[in-house]
A and B are shown apart, each in its own frame.
Chain A
Amino acid sequence: MAVKVRIPTPLQKLTDGKDEVEGEPGTVISLINNLDKRFPGIGERISEGGKIRRFINIYLNDEDIRFLQNEGTEVKDDDEVSIVPAIAGG
């Protein structure tokens, strides 16, 4: 068992083209830090100084983590975490 992590297209070059990888249970930020050990560079694309970047949205199953406990949200085995960069411009 593990956490299922969905990787958005722009970050798939860091995960050998995989759109889905396995993560370790814990908090959202620990999951990202652990991902960075396997896929160097992915951490800083998602977070900065332990905080999720402003233009990155993260969902635990179907819930935006901003409405849970943000970076401290607990993630368990079998949960699905989706990393979704915002779509914005001017």
Chain B
Amino acid sequence: MQSETLVVPRHLVSEMILHCKEIYPNEACGILAGKNRTVQKVYKMTNIENSSVSYMMEPREQFTVMKEMREQGLEMSAIYHSHPQSDVHPSPKDINLAFYPDSLYVIVSLINEEQPAIKAFEIKNGLIREVEILII
């Protein structure tokens, strides 16, 4: 049974937000690795689209990170990306390209740069459901 909440240590939330701000005005993307839905590690990934409205992880980097996660017994608890100029909800493209329904999709909206908005969603069969994030 999967946990209903995504649990993320505070320093990892900061690391993810910092990454999103560094890549601004383009979209940043990465992986939150952990056990079940408790995150232990942030992998900052390269967005090969270099775009402010879309992202695709560099395939080889993704392959290498997934291999490392497997070797370390970590799961892909969540996939994160930023929305530099839009709100914190999944876009139609996010829904169409959600190929990992067992992972959560975390979005960081930077519309308010001082106070980024962060939400987590389950995206399955085109349906979106928000999942609570617990910052510890």
Chain B interface residue number, banded:
20 to 34
Q: Which residues of A contact B56 (CB under 8 A)?
A: 86-88
- Asked if B63 and A89 sit within 8 Å, CB to CB, the answer is no
- Asked if B54 and A85 sit within 8 Å, CB to CB, the answer is no
| Partner-B contacts on A (CB < 8 A) | 8-10, 55, 57, 59, 62, 64, 82, 84-90
The binding surface of chain B is classed by DSSP as mixed
- Asked if A87 and B29 sit within 8 Å, CB to CB, the answer is yes
B87 at the interface (CB under 8 A from A): no
- Asked if A85 and B100 sit within 8 Å, CB to CB, the answer is yes
Nearest chain B CB to A23 CB, angstrom units: 18
| Partner-A contacts on B (CB < 8 A) | 27, 29, 31, 45, 49, 53-57, 59-60, 62-63, 66, 76, 79, 81, 90-94, 97-103, 105
23 inter-chain pairs at a CB distance below 8 angstroms, sorted by A residue, are: A10-B99, A10-B101, A57-B59, A57-B62, A57-B63, A59-B63, A62-B63, A64-B60, A84-B62, A84-B66, A86-B59, A87-B29, A87-B45, A87-B56, A88-B57, A88-B97, A89-B54, A89-B55, A89-B81, A89-B94, A89-B97, A89-B98, A90-B27
